[in-house]
Amino acid sequence: MMSFDDMLARANPGDEIIYHRGFHCLDLTGERRNAQAKQAWDAYMRGDVLLYQRRVKRFRLEYCARVIR
């Protein structure tokens, strides 16, 4: 699987990157984000993406990033 940063480098403005599917993007302890989520947050803080989540079904979410750079 490609890292979030790799997907972002290949993306065009307006593209959507789904960087996690599941109930939440925390590790199993619930204390920290997984690596993809951390890279997505860093890209958000740089102003490269907008982050949002979409419910697919009960207890199933897609964590998405819209490329804006």
**What pTM does this model have?**
0.82
DSSP string, 3-27: -HHHHHHH--TT-EEEEEEES-SB-
Task: Give me the pLDDT at residue 23, please.
Answer: 74
- Residues 4-59 have pLDDT tens digits of 999 999 999 999 999 988 876 655 555 556 788 889 999 999 999 999 999 998 87
pLDDT at 66 over 80: yes
**What residue numbers bound the domain in which 44 lies?**
4-67
Number of domains in the chain: 1
What gap in Å lies between CA 31 and CA 36, rounded to an integer?
Answer: 15
